[in-house]
Amino acid sequence: MSELDLATTTVTELAPLIKSKKLSIIDLTKQFLQRIERYNPALNAFQTITAEDALKQSRLLDRELRADKWRGPLHGIPFSIKDNLAIRGVKTTAGSKQLADWVPSYDATVVEKLKSAGAVILGKTNMHEWASGSTTINPYYGTTANPWDRQRISGGSSGGSAASVAASLCLGSIGTDNAGSVRHPASLCGVVGLKATFGRVSRYGGVLGTGGFSTDHFGPFAKTVKDCALMLKAIAGHDSKDPISSREAVASYTSAIGKSVKGLRVGLINGYFDEFMSDVVRRAFETAVEQLKALGMKVVKLDIPYTDLIAAVQLATSRVENVATAHEYLRNSARDYSAPLFYRHIKSLLIPADVYVTAQRVRRLICEAFEAAFDKVDVMVAPTVGSPAQTIEECQQGFAIVDGKRVELQEERGTTGTLCTIPFNVTGLPAMSLCCGFSTQGLPIGMQIVGAPFDEARLFQVGHAYEQAAGWYRRRPKLD
């Protein structure tokens, strides 16, 4: 298989080749490891490369195939894992100085499930420090560059995961999403990123302090919607190690893929997202909505109350829940946090308990309002991020010029880049980002498709129909 093929191939394409033994897993793994060796120094997507383990696992999986044991469509497929998810025997830093040398003795459930499905894990990916930001400019492990333009950020906090998939250093990755940390980098890197319904994917084995107890989700990155569906099928389901995980039956996520979307109702939320969209994102998003209409979907405008309070609820909830796990570090190694994160934790300690409870009361109103809206629509769509990827320099200076105006990248409500994604962390609704166009500078733009609780199959149905009609997924970054 040539280099060009590796750059464009998908899980869906490779699975039958592996199953029919036309492709050896050990050869495939070696080629991806060579690709990592070639491109990772410039991208810094991988923080730890587990080549030896990957080769050992590949040989085992090849032996199984020779004995006619095929585990399923992920058998022999190369993946990466965000560095706040435990892999037994592999350093897991969470992008932090405090955990620089921590080696877990257990696997996170998502890792265990991927391994059981036959995945070959190539390594751990770089991330924003403690998953607490959206640039993946990490003071300890370096910056992950965007494969579409290395002067720009990959997004975050799962920036390394998104970049590793966009650059075809692997075919899928698992990240975590407390405020948009899967969908934001997926949008900036032009790949598919999914945060399923709250409770759909076990969070056992995630590093505490990298997300709020009630706002954080784990989810897959992939090049296509179908690959994403295959990954969700492998990692979803109840887990006795995570009491918050759902007992809802896991659906057949690929069965709806390819079905017509004609007659389905797509909701557009009035107001909330307008403020955040740059001109280029607005044009791409509006064009995408026209394409959904051309596929036969009916557009329904939605007025959802209380959206102006989403940022306050997210702030009070996720920051309080997060800092509640940080006392040991605040007591023993507080100065090992970067200064902005240390100060943020102190501010979180100043949020009174009654404000946290009030936030959960307002959150109920928001959740009920969104769920009521799903009586009128089958899915909603929204932009993922208001602007394409900023330059690393803009992020370091703290502002960017967008449409001739100065935009602060950190504002009083939180990180500007995640204001479009947090509604679905507050509500726990499933949301998937996929590419809906490119800027004139060749930077990807993302659109979220949002579903009713546990209706991920609908997201895949609509996402796949749009993806095939629009064709953006065929465009890949030039790395040389």
Partner 1 sequence: MEDQIRRLSAHYGWNLTDEEVRRIAAEALVQGKVLERLNQVDLAQTRPIMGVFKSRRATADKRGQK
Q: Which residues bind partner 1 (CB under 8 A)?
A: 197-199, 214, 244, 246, 248, 306, 308-309, 311-313, 315-316, 330-331, 334-335, 343, 346-347, 349-351, 355, 357-365, 367, 371, 374, 412-413, 428, 452-455
Which CB sits closer to partner 1, 320 or 389?
320
Q: Shortest approach of partner 1 to residue 117 CB, angstroms?
A: 24
Q: Shortest approach of partner 1 to residue 389 CB, angstroms?
A: 26
Q: Residue 76 — left, alpha, or beta (φ > 0 → left; ψ -120 to 50 → alpha)? A: left
Which CB sits closer to partner 1, 75 or 363?
363
Q: Shortest approach of partner 1 to residue 130 CB, angstroms?
A: 17
Look at the chain and count its residues: 480
Which CB sits closer to partner 1, 66 or 331?
331
Q: Is 82 one of the catalytic residues?
A: yes
- Residue of 8, 13, 467, 449 lying closest to 194 (CA atoms): 449
Structure tokens at 87: 């892999």
Which CB sits closer to partner 1, 158 or 348?
348
- Residue of 209, 257, 294, 249 lying closest to 432 (CA atoms): 257
Tell me the three state secondary structure of residue 457: helix
**Among the options 96, 134, 157, 439, which is catalytic?**
157
Tell me the three state secondary structure of residue 14: helix
**CA 194, 200, 201, 203 torsion: positive or negative?**
positive
Q: Shortest approach of partner 1 to residue 233 CB, angstroms?
A: 17
Q: Shortest approach of partner 1 to residue 398 CB, angstroms?
A: 13
**Among the options 58, 82, 115, 233, which is catalytic?**
82
Helix axes 25-43, 51-66, angle to 10 degrees: 160
Structure tokens at 318: 């996720």
For the chain, state the CA radius of gyration: 21
Distance of alpha carbon 191 from alpha carbon 318, whole angstroms? 26
Distance of alpha carbon 174 from alpha carbon 50, whole angstroms? 16
Catalytic residues: 82, 157, 181
